[in-house]
Amino acid sequence: MSEIERGRGVALWSQISGILAADIQKGQLRQGEQLPSAHELAQRFDVNRHTVRRAIAALEQRNLVRTEQGRGTFVQEQTLDYPISRRTRFTQNMRNLNVEADIEILEDAREIPPAQVAQSLGLDRHEHAYRIETISRADGHIVDYSTAYFPATRFNGLPAVYRRLQSVTRTLNEFGVNDYERKHTRVSARLPDATTARLMQQPASRPVLYVQSINADTRGVPVQYGITRFSGDWVQLVLMADH
Q: CATH code at 58?
A: 1.10.10.10
Task: Give the residue with greater pLDDT, 142 vs 151.
Answer: 151
Q: Domain range spanning residue 111?
A: 80-239
Same domain, 119 and 178: yes
Query: What pLDDT is stored for residue 243 in this prediction?
Result: 44
Task: Give the residue with greater pLDDT, 151 vs 100.
Answer: 151
Distance CA 63, CA 225 (A): 35
Query: What pLDDT is stored for residue 218 in this prediction?
Result: 94
Task: Give the residue with greater pLDDT, 80 vs 197.
Answer: 197
Query: What pLDDT is stored for residue 203 in this prediction?
Result: 82
Tens digit of pLDDT for each residue in 218-241? 999 999 999 999 987 777 777 765
Same domain, 141 and 164: yes
Which of these three, 54, 75, 96, is where a domain ends? 75
Which residues lie across from 80 on neighbouring strands?
A: 235
Distance CA 226, CA 243 (A): 17
Which residues lie across from 214 on neighbouring strands?
A: 184, 225
For residue 119, the one-letter residue type is: Q
For the cut 90, the answer to whether the pLDDT of residue 102 exceeds it is no
CB 182 within 8 A of CB 243: yes
Q: How many domains does the chain have?
A: 2
Which of these three, 26, 59, 75, is where a domain ends? 75
